[in-house]
Amino acid sequence: MHIDRYAPSPTSDLHLGNLRTAMAGWLLARREGGRWLMRVEDLDRARVRAADGTERRQLDALRRLGLEWDGEVVRQSERLELYRAAVASLPTYECFCTRREIAEASSAPHGGYRPYPGTCRGLSGAERSRRRDERPPAIRVDSGGAEFTVIDATAGEVTGPVDDFVLVRNDGQFAYNLAVVVDDIDMGVTHITRGVDLLESAPRQAWLTRQLGGSPSRYAHIGLVVNPRGERLAKRDGAVTPNDLGLEPAEAVALLASSLGLGPCRSMDEALAAMPGDQRFVEGAVWSEGTLSPSR
């Protein structure tokens, strides 16, 4: 069985890059006669409140292109009990480090993910209660310095370090890396199609999947749409949703299908029929002056 999901965060309207990734996941699932599920990642309440109505617009935008999903929409904000139970089942410890302290103690290149060096792992009970008076703790998983290998359709076997990443932030919110894994297990997900910007987090998430008794998914991390400066497409790049561009659904599908190497198909069924059996959607695309071309 092939069960994939699309998991938008309802913080801004879906742009061409988001829709292109959704399209790739839908096509890969439908080619296998599989299921394509929808999960709204709305845990970040402050950001979601600021973006009122965005979820509805995102779902409408997907439906308009013919990206129909199976079953009910799953919302992370309604699943806090599941996350709580998962955290309780894992070896964890409280962490009082500030971002700055972690940056100083970790050797990651500037701007990249900084693996946590384990500073708070061995704190005594007395030390912890003293620190709790200063700031609320985050909860980290005690990973024991693992490594984990995932299988990606594009990149092949990818092995990455698993640090003691955050499960619950110090404002009490469940962390993305926890929620995504708990949900993928609970929803029976077997395949994960998403942007290549998330490849780095896959070994960590797959490791956690194992710890929670699930089987890691197979991944397809696909190329992003970038602006002419090579940066991920964002709202600030101007008119980048089909609506902004005044595109009819069939025109938007044709633009995106072409950028996926399928030709100017005018419906998702046409795109599915045009899709070669070994299609992997390796390449990203560049959005420049109203055209979307494959990136090199």
Instruction: State the minimum distance, in angstroms, from the CB of residue 30 to ligand GLU.
Output: 18
198 part of the interface to ligand GLU, by CB under 6 A = yes
Q: Which of 3, 180, 224, 226 binds ligand GLU (CB under 6 A)?
A: 180
Q: Which of 9, 54, 58, 258 binds ligand GLU (CB under 6 A)?
A: 9
58 part of the interface to ligand GLU, by CB under 6 A = no
Q: For residues 14 and 38, give the distance between their C-alpha atoms in angstroms, rounded to a whole number.
A: 14
Q: Which stretch binds ligand GLU (CB under 6 A): 7-15, 64-72, 102-110, 157-165?
A: 7-15
Q: For residues 114 and 131, give the distance between their C-alpha atoms in angstroms, rounded to a whole number.
A: 23
Residue reference for tokens 């962490």: 95
42 part of the interface to ligand GLU, by CB under 6 A = no
Active site residue 216: no
**Exactly one of 45, 56, 132, 235 is catalytic; which is it?**
235
How many chain residues bind ligand GLU (CB under 6 A)?
7
209 part of the interface to ligand GLU, by CB under 6 A = no
Instruction: State the minimum distance, in angstroms, from the CB of residue 76 to ligand GLU.
Output: 9
Q: Which of 3, 7, 27, 153 binds ligand GLU (CB under 6 A)?
A: 7
Q: For residues 123 and 144, give the distance between their C-alpha atoms in angstroms, rounded to a whole number.
A: 16
- Contact yes or no for 37/5 (Cβ under 8 A): yes
Q: Which is nearer to ligand GLU, 10 or 66 (CB)?
A: 10
204 part of the interface to ligand GLU, by CB under 6 A = no
Is 10 in a helix, a strand, or coil? coil
Sign of the torsion angle spanned by Cα atoms 97, 143, 196, 48: negative
Q: Which is nearer to ligand GLU, 198 or 212 (CB)?
A: 198
Q: For residues 5 and 3, give the distance between their C-alpha atoms in angstroms, rounded to a whole number.
A: 7
194 part of the interface to ligand GLU, by CB under 6 A = yes
Q: What is the DSSP track for 107-171? A: -PPTTS------TTTT--HHHHHHHHTTSPPEEEE---SEEEEEEETTTEEEEEEE---EEE-TT
Q: For residues 212 and 270, give the distance between their C-alpha atoms in angstroms, rounded to a whole number.
A: 40
Q: For residues 45 and 33, give the distance between their C-alpha atoms in angstroms, rounded to a whole number.
A: 35
- The residues of the shown chain that bind ligand GLU, judged by CB under 6 A, are 7-9, 41, 180, 194, 198
Which residues are marked as active site?
A: 235
Binding positions: 5-9, 41, 95, 97, 116, 120, 176, 194, 235
Annotated binding site for L-glutamate: 5-9, 41, 176, 194
